[in-house]
Amino acid sequence: MSLLTDRVAMITGGGRGIGEASARRLAEYGAKVILADMDLEAAQRVADSINAEGGDARALEFNVAEFDAIPAKVAKARELFGRIDILVNVAGITGSTPIDAITLDSWDRMMDIDLKSMFFVTQAVFAIMKEQRYGKLVHMSSLAALRGGRSSDASYACAKAGILNLSKCFALSGAPYHITSNAICPGNILTPMGRTLSWSKVDPKTYIPMGRYGTAEDVANAVLFYASDLSDYITGDFMNVNGGLYM
C-alpha cells in the first residue's frame, strides 16, 4: 500500500461521494491528502476518519466557484504539506432541466462550477507542478460527455465534454514537465448526487451489462491508477467507468 508514499494529493469536492472515496483510496496507498470542499464540516469529517485510520489528511474550505480566491486557496493548500503532486478535480453539480427550459443563468452557473472553476483550479496547481517538474492531474468528466445528456441536462453534458478537452490541453502543456493529465467518465454511480437522478429508480439489470450501478469506490480505483506512477506514459486519455453501459 506504498504506491503513493510521500505524494500529496488535493481533492476538490473531497467531503462526499466520489471525492471522499478518492481521498480515502489515495490515503490508503500512502498519499497525504487535502480535502478541499466548500463544506468544511464534511471535509473535516473525512479528514478525521482518514487520520484515525493511520493516514495523513487535512481539510480545507474551498469554494471552487469563488474565482478570485482560487490562487490564494491553492497556495494555502500547498502550505499544508509543502507541495501538491496530485490534483483530483471532482467538485461539481448536475442538472436535469429539459433542453427548452435551460436559461442563461442556469447555463452560466453550470459552466462556472463544472468547467470554468476546474480550469482555473488546475491552472493554479499546474504552476506548482511545473516548479516540481512532476504532477498528476485527474479530472472528473461523465458518460454524458460522450453520448449527450440522457438523465442529465444539456448544460451538464456540454460542460463535461469541455472537461475532456481541458484535460488534453493540460496534457500537451504539461508533458515537458512530467505532468500527466487524464479524465474519468463515470456512468451511473450511486453517490448522494446520483441518487437524485431518474435512472437511480430503475433496475440496473435491465440496461447495464454488468447488472449493477457503480459505486464511488469503483471510480476511486480509476483515480488511483491515473494518480500513480503506473500511468506515467498515459496522458490526454480518459477512462470509462460504467459497467458496460457505453462501449
Q: Which residues are catalytic?
A: 156
Grid cell, residue 110, equals 453550470
Helices 40-52 + 17-28 axis angle, to 10: 30
Q: What is the CA radius of gyration of the chain?
A: 17
Longest dimension (CA), the chain: 51
Measured between alpha carbons, how far is 22 from 12 in angstroms, rounded to an integer? 10
Q: Which amino acid is at 235?
A: T
Spatial distance between the Cα atoms of 82 and 177, rounded to a whole number of angstroms: 19
38 HSE (CA, 13 A, CB side): 12
Query: Partners of 182 in the beta sheet?
Result: 138
Nearest to 18 by CA among 203, 222, 196: 222
What gap in Å lies between CA 97 and CA 143, rounded to an integer? 17
Q: How far is CA 145 from CA 6, 28, 140, in A?
A: 34, 30, 11
